[in-house]
Structure 1
Amino acid sequence: MARIRIDLPEQFGFSTELPIYLSHINYGNHLDNALLLTLVSEARSRFFHSLGYQELDVEGLGIVVSDAAVQYRSEAHHGETMRVAMQATDFNKYGFDLVWQMNDVATDREVARGKTGIVFFDYDARQIASVPFAFARRVGGTSA
């Protein structure tokens, strides 16, 4: 079976640190695979906040996650702190990919990498919407 391969950008424009809590740990005594996405969601929220936005108000539009892909690279354990770095890439008319990498702060060991498809959504009209020009300009993207 073919494996997911996620290529990382040369540099990331945003990063944040998140601790691994006991509640993130599964029966294997490491970070639960599903809860890793919870940490990525928190980092995504912080990414938008760092730009002055909230996920429900990006130039008047909200966002929805359209898809997600993850490559797990190593275990993470309770008490470790993760650095999640993110970069907006591959813009199209309605959204972009938010590529991310998670590393242990103390050792720089890569724990996971992935990308999350983001689509802009007009919650009042209940339909997808074009990428706001001001947002694309701000993060270095161009909308198709």
Structure 2
Amino acid sequence: MARLKLEFPEHQYYYSTQLTVRVTDINAANHLGNDSMISMISEARARFMFEFGIEENREDGIGIIVTDLATTYKTEAHARDHLLFEVGVMDFNRYGGDITFRITRPADGAMVAMAKSGFVFFNYKSRKVVPMPEAFREKFPNANWVDA
């Protein structure tokens, strides 16, 4: 099976936040578990959306739904490590795009992981995918577009 390789352009990062690895995030191998990394990625995404004033589930029922997640791990993280999550957006299409994550450990500069989370806009009332709102698109004028 081919290895997944994630690389993202430097200009697409718009936000960063730090999270600390908790003791409860550690697995039997004594490092940050995959399930906890996914939770940390979700927290970084939620902080990013809040920072840009993007409601994940608006009153009109339109929100964002995650369609996929890909993660590559570069090195272990351990309890009490402070991790920097740099968050960006790219590959916009009519309905959504990708939210990207570069996760490093500032204490030693180690690259811990890279991740990509696909998303689409979804109307939770009608249960249908809807086009990306113009207000969202305008927040990220440098995001690239792909045909989809």
TM-aligned CA distance change 1:127 to 1:16, over 3 Å: same
Aligned to 1:30: 31
- The one-letter code matched in structure 2 to 1:137 is E
TM-aligned CA distance change 1:134 to 1:119, over 3 Å: same
Aligned to 2:72: 71
Aligned to 1:85: 86
TM-aligned CA distance change 1:52 to 1:58, over 3 Å: farther
TM-aligned CA distance change 1:60 to 1:125, over 3 Å: closer
Aligned-CA RMSD value: 1.8
Aligned-partner Cα distance in 2 for 1:117–1:29? 30
Q: 3-state SS of the aligned residue for 2:10?
A: coil
Q: 3-state SS of the aligned residue for 1:70?
A: strand
> What percent identity do the matched residue pairs reach?
35
Aligned to 1:99: 100
Runs of 4+ in 1 over 6 A off after TM superposition: none
Q: 3-state SS of the aligned residue for 1:56?
A: coil
| Structure 1 unaligned blocks of 5 or more | none
Matches within 5 A, 1:1-144: 1-11=1-11, 12-57=13-58, 61-140=62-141, 141=143
TM-aligned CA distance change 1:45 to 1:71, over 3 Å: same
Q: 3-state SS of the aligned residue for 1:118?
A: strand
Q: 3-state SS of the aligned residue for 2:35?
A: helix
TM-score normalised over the length of structure 1: 0.93
Aligned residues between the structures: 144
Aligned-partner Cα distance in 2 for 1:10–1:58? 34
TM-aligned CA distance change 1:60 to 1:137, over 3 Å: farther
TM-aligned CA distance change 1:58 to 1:69, over 3 Å: farther
- The one-letter code matched in structure 1 to 2:6 is I
CA positional deviation for 1:26: 0.3
**1:120, 1:131 within 8 Å by CA — same for their partners in 2?**
yes
Aligned-partner Cα distance in 1 for 2:132–2:144? 9
Aligned-partner Cα distance in 2 for 1:108–1:3? 24
CA positional deviation for 1:58: 9.5
**2:66, 2:119 within 8 Å by CA — same for their partners in 1?**
yes
